[in-house]
Amino acid sequence: MSGKRILLGVCGSIAAYKSATLVRLLLKEGADVQVVMTEDATTLITPLTLSTLSKRPVLKDFATPDGQWNNHVSLAEWADLLLIAPVSANTLAKMANGFCDNLLTTTYLSAKCPVAVAPAMDLDMWHHHSTQRNIEQAKQDGVTVIHTTGRQYISCDSRPHHRAHRSCQVYQQSFLW
């Protein structure tokens, strides 16, 4: 992982707080991590937390408040891996259908590097036929779907046999690139 450039996408899922651990683990192995968040993600974990951990400004918008452009093409070219963890059902649907209405999905459509996602949603949302269709489409488009402990990266399921994402397992699977 040493020297690898990881573009970490963080979406609006309750599991977003686990991205802080993921950033820390990736940095510990010598990766360079740039975080791109969706607007919804910022309501669940602050950009300040992830920017402090990654030692880089977190990107969210196409332009900074002072008017500098966050170039999605340059971001995509910079990355050795685009890892979206957690990926929400909403962002997954956008990816599967080519919608690019935010910096993360626009960067995804420009990416030439490997792309991996760790889904995070309620179990009912995960099993919905639309989500399953979007997962299959993403796989056909070359996206690797990371599952943890043999189960999906479920965020808020109260049933005891389902567990939330384990940052360490997503981190370990990121070594595949």
* In the chain, where the domains are located: 5-176
Q: Is 156 a catalytic residue?
A: yes
**Residue 148 forms beta bridges with which residues?**
151
Fold entry, domain 5-176: Rossmann fold (3.40.50)
> Of the residues 11, 100, 113, 156, which is catalytic?
156
DSSP 59: B
Tokens of 100: 């690019």
Chain segment 19-75, per-residue pLDDT in tens: 999 999 999 999 999 999 999 999 999 999 999 999 999 999 999 888 899 999 999
Rounded to 10 degrees, the C-alpha dihedral 14/16/20/25 comes to 110
Q: How far apart are CA 24 and CA 171, in angstroms?
A: 10
Q: What is the pTM of this model?
A: 0.87
pLDDT score for 60: 96
Chain segment 7-23, per-residue pLDDT in tens: 999 999 989 999 999 99
